[in-house]
Amino acid sequence: MTNRKELFNDVIDHMSKIEGAPMSKPEMSSLPLGIRIIGYALIGFTALASLLFIILTLLD
């Protein structure tokens, strides 16, 4: 994870170290296969359900 954001003051750096919050988004290719499959399935299901909802409301 080389895409770490620069912190603009020491307070944010201190809180980040205490809370352990990541400062950058993880890359999808670095996640385990199971988590990637679940993520893709959820995104695909949401997109498909939204599209189906739009089509059914237009037909009604």
- At 23 the pLDDT is 63
- Distance CA(3)–CA(59), nearest Å, equals 47
- At 16 the pLDDT is 75
Closest by CA to 23, choosing from 11, 12, 39, is 12
List the pLDDT tens digit at each of the 60 positions of the chain.
445 566 667 777 777 778 876 667 767 778 899 999 999 999 999 999 999 999 999 987
Helix (H, G, I), strand (E, B) or coil at 29: helix
- Distance CA(43)–CA(35), nearest Å, equals 12
How big is the chain by its Cα radius of gyration, in Å?
A: 19
